[in-house]
Amino acid sequence: MCQIKTGGSCSLILQLIKRFIASYTINKSSSAGEMTQRKSSGKRSSTAVEEEEDDSRFTQPTTSQVQKGMEKLTKAQIDEKTTELVQYILMKDQKKIPIKRADIVKNVLKEYKNVFPEIMNRVQQRFEQVFGFKVVEIDTKNHVYILINKLEPAEGSEMTSGNPKTGLLFVILSLVYMKGGVVPEGLVWNTLKKMRVDPGERHPEFGDVKKLVTDEFVRQRYLEYTKVPHTEPVKYDFTWGQRAEVEVSKHKILEFLGELHSQDPQRWSQQYKDASSQRSSRAPQPSTSSQR
Amino acid sequence: MKRGRCPDSGDADPPQNGTSDDGMRVRDPEAGASNIDSQPDTNDEVDSAHRRDIRSRYRVLISSIQKNREDIKITEVLDEANVLFKEVHQAREAALDSQLLVVASDLGKEKASQLFSEGLSFDPSTFVQHTLSFMGLNWLEEEGESSDEGAATSHGSLPRNAWRRLARRAEACFRSTPAFHFMYGSFQAEPPPPKPRVERQRKAPTKEAKRIMPTQLKKMEESLQEATEKEVERILGYLQQYHAQDPTSPISYYEFVINPHSFSRTVENIFHTSFLVRDGLARMYMDEDKMPCIGPVEDGMAGDGRAPVRKQCVIAISLQGWRELRRDLDIQESMIQPPKSQTK
């Protein structure tokens, strides 16, 4: 995508063109499709429903602009906004749907949007120091954030009652990972069927399985469901989503798989190499958490 | 994936080049035809039929790739296509040929990405088996029991918390945050002040309304209860009076209750009479003709048994029945006079 340089009336035209193109592009996560739907439904004045705003209106302020903006604000105002944003992110995290920068600007920062980077820094600090969480931008192009745990899950944390969806997700993620990172949807459905989870039938625990896997998990960015070109009838592939790349430890997946198969995980040499590189690229983690 | 082309087949524009992204793009037909068309117009009909045949065979090949993505042997398909291509002279068939190439190469790419030769292979079925065992699947259960679970692999059933068990262990692989929920639900600090105002306003009207209510209610209740009791007493009076006139002859029940002029009064009479029987002030019995009769209970008669023998029956009467009884028993006048004042 072309860079939008501010200044001059042509920038407005460029922004309009960019928005026009964005709304007609078939986006994988279908966020563009959502945007066109919302725009056509007209304005809604209720504050309960948050409208999603096109991020292209927000231009990243320069450092000098941020500094100037910060000088005008009192400490109390800055703290208040920081706290509000922390709470906002915590609430949005409940459903595990990623948070858009445009929403943050529109719903929380509003007139403070010119100091967005500074507030974000403070929010990061707050999360890390108080909660042990980390705000990660999983999509630098569209500026989408998620909240992950900075700390590793503690040993013996099996005391918690697990969310069954996590189990299902684990099966799919493992399958995709062990099969090279891309898997045709047919393989996923067949494997699930062998586990008594049939996408064609209503499952007592998961309900509409197909919707859960292709819609909920995809919106949460655990999975990506992409169309395979030139297929008739249309077929899709599954890959790891942006959240999974950041939140899931490949090393731990291999470890568990090794336990299941009574095997040394190093025998899966390709995957093991890949997992080790993921481990080293991530910052070293402090001691275990007592979050549970 | 290499595809050998016989150089003697077609001269110009091999359609491989520009079609990697979009197999449907057709090159300029005019340019193509003038270059390739080596045969002049002899046997036009045969020629077009032949071309139709080629096109249909191409389409068959394309659909075979799309239908059997898993099992198809790409090399065989390509060999066939090579043979076909020898006969291609015009752009229309060439376009189909290029479409076939695109589809075949997509499939090839897909298969190549699925190849994973290094290290131990991973078999989904084995994975499923091990995972099901971990989840607590009971393999030894008989097939008959699990046959109602549905199509897929029977043998054994999963315990209820199977997926939870898996999730508990799998969660260790995730660095996810626990979801944040307010303990007492979310609230905003603003609403409380307006509330007392609203309540106070509402209280005033309700008090007044309540004051009016009790007086009305008292009146109504009195009238209902008293009316019934009075009626019952009055009917008892009639009964005793008639009995006193002729103690020996029984009073026919129907003659007693039926009011020949009004069906509704008849029903009321039956209703009130039933109270008398219930309270032990009147008794009903059958005479020689099996007709029901009614008579007052005298004090002396109670000495028979201290606990009165309770028998119940239900008396029903319809408009038709009332007319029949009135006619058959020839009732001209009612024995129970209707009450004078009616508050209905």
**B131–A195 C-beta distance less than 8 A:** yes
List pLDDT tens digits, range B97-107. Answer: 888 888 888 88
A19-33, A163-177, B186-200, B242-256: range with lowest mean pLDDT: A19-33
User: Are the beta carbons of B147 and B156 closer than 8 angstroms?
Assistant: no
More confident: A56 or A233:
A233
Size of chain B, expressed as the number of residues it contains: 344
| Chain B residues close to A247, C-beta within 8 Å | 174-176
Taking residues A194-217, report their average pLDDT: 91
Check pLDDT > 90 for residue A237.
Answer: yes
Residue A114, classed as helix, strand or coil, is helix
Range among A64-78, A117-131, B80-94, B233-247 rated most confident:
A117-131
Check pLDDT > 80 for residue B37.
Answer: no
Check pLDDT > 80 for residue B275.
Answer: yes
How far apart are alpha carbons B19 and B25 in whole angstroms? 7
Terminal CA-to-CA distance of chain B, rounded, Å?
101
More confident: B15 or B56:
B56
More confident: B308 or B150:
B308
Inside any domain, residue A1: no
**Cα of B143 vs its chain's centroid, Å:** 31
Inside any domain, residue A261: yes
Check pLDDT > 90 for residue A169.
Answer: yes
CATH number for the domain that contains residue A36:
1.10.10.1210
ipTM above 0.85, yes or no: no
- What angle (nearest 5°) sits at the alpha carbon of residue B4, between those of residues B2 and B7? 145
Neighbours of B195 (CB within 10 A): 9
What is the pTM (predicted TM-score) of this model?
A: 0.53
**Cα of B40 vs its chain's centroid, Å:** 71
**A147–B120 C-beta distance less than 8 A:** no
Binned at pLDDT 50, 70 and 90, residue A288 comes out as low
Q: Based on the domain organization, do A122 and A258 belong to the same domain? A: no
**Which of A119, A149, A179 marks a domain boundary?**
A149
How far apart are alpha carbons B116 and B124 in whole angstroms? 14
How far apart are alpha carbons A187 and A209 in whole angstroms? 15
Check pLDDT > 90 for residue A254.
Answer: yes
User: Are the beta carbons of A202 and B198 closer than 8 angstroms?
Assistant: no
Check pLDDT > 50 for residue B184.
Answer: yes
Q: Based on the domain organization, do A66 and A121 belong to the same domain? A: yes
Q: Looking at residue B222, what is its pLDDT? A: 56
Residue of B nearest to A131 (CA): B177
Q: Looking at residue B252, what is its pLDDT? A: 87
Q: Based on the domain organization, do A167 and A268 belong to the same domain? A: yes
Q: Based on the domain organization, do A85 and A186 belong to the same domain? A: no
Q: Looking at residue A2, what is its pLDDT? A: 44
Q: Looking at residue A11, what is its pLDDT? A: 56
Inside any domain, residue A110: yes
Binned at pLDDT 50, 70 and 90, residue B267 comes out as very high
- A18 in reach of chain B (CB within 8 A): no
**Which of A121, A149, A177 marks a domain boundary?**
A149
**B114–A180 C-beta distance less than 8 A:** yes
Backbone angles phi, psi at B61, to 5 degrees: -60, -45
**Cα of B310 vs its chain's centroid, Å:** 50
- Provide the residue type at B29 as one letter: P
CA B74 vs CA A291, B69, B93: distances in Å: 54, 9, 20
User: Are the beta carbons of B98 and B16 closer than 8 angstroms?
Assistant: yes
Q: Alpha-carbon Rg of chain A, whole angstroms?
A: 22
Beta strands at A202-203 and A236-240: parallel, antiparallel or unpaired: unpaired
Check pLDDT > 50 for residue B343.
Answer: no
CA distance A276 to chain B (A): 14
Inside any domain, residue A160: yes
User: Are the beta carbons of A117 and A60 closer than 8 angstroms?
Assistant: yes
Q: Based on the domain organization, do A249 and A225 belong to the same domain? A: yes
Q: Based on the domain organization, do A143 and A217 belong to the same domain? A: no
Tokens of B52: 């139709």
Q: Based on the domain organization, do A260 and A186 belong to the same domain? A: yes
Domain count within chain A:
2
Residue of B nearest to A272 (CA): B119
Residues 152-181 of A with CB under 8 A from B: 152-153, 157-158, 160-171, 174-175, 178-180
Q: Looking at residue B287, what is its pLDDT? A: 83
Size of chain A, expressed as the number of residues it contains: 292
Q: State the DSSP H helix or E strand holding residue A102, giving kind and residue range, or none if neither.
A: helix A101-104
Beta strands at B251-252 and B292-296: parallel, antiparallel or unpaired: antiparallel
Residue A128 belongs to domain spanning: 57-149
Inside any domain, residue A20: no
Taking residues A205-215, report their average pLDDT: 92
Check pLDDT > 70 for residue A56.
Answer: no
**B164–A162 C-beta distance less than 8 A:** yes
A91-100, A239-248, B181-190: range with lowest mean pLDDT: B181-190
List pLDDT tens digits, range B151-173. Answer: 334 556 788 888 988 998 898 88
Pick from A229, A182, A185, A227: nearest CA to B103: A229
| Chain B residues close to A248, C-beta within 8 Å | 173-175
Q: Looking at residue A244, what is its pLDDT? A: 94
Q: Based on the domain organization, do A169 and A223 belong to the same domain? A: yes
A74-78, B211-215, B237-241: range with lowest mean pLDDT: B211-215
Pick from A68, A50, A150, A46: nearest CA to A112: A68
Q: Looking at residue B22, what is its pLDDT? A: 43
Residues 185-244 of A with CB under 8 A from B: 187, 190-191, 193-196, 198, 201, 205, 228-232, 235
Residue B180 is nearest to which of A90, A178, A230, comparing CB atoms? Answer: A90
CA A173 vs CA A177, A178, B120: distances in Å: 6, 8, 18
Check pLDDT > 80 for residue B186.
Answer: no
Check pLDDT > 70 for residue B248.
Answer: yes
Residue A166 is nearest to which of B130, B150, B170, comparing CB atoms? Answer: B170
Check pLDDT > 80 for residue B110.
Answer: no
Give 3-state DSSP helix, strand, coil % of chain B, rounded to 5.
55, 5, 40
Inside any domain, residue A241: yes
**Which of A129, A149, A169 marks a domain boundary?**
A149
| Chain B residues close to A196, C-beta within 8 Å | 149-150, 152-153, 158
Alpha-carbon dihedral sign for residues A39, A42, A45, A47: negative
- A282 in reach of chain B (CB within 8 A): no
**Percent of chain B predicted with pLDDT > 90:** 5
Residue B113 is nearest to which of A96, A149, A180, comparing CB atoms? Answer: A180
CATH number for the domain that contains residue A65:
1.10.10.1200
**A180–B127 C-beta distance less than 8 A:** no
CA distance A268 to chain B (A): 5
Q: Looking at residue B65, what is its pLDDT? A: 85
Q: Looking at residue A211, what is its pLDDT? A: 93
Inside any domain, residue A270: yes
**Percent of chain B predicted with pLDDT > 70:** 64
Q: Looking at residue B17, what is its pLDDT? A: 44
Tokens of A5: 């340089």
Interface A-B: count of C-beta contacts within 8 A:
163
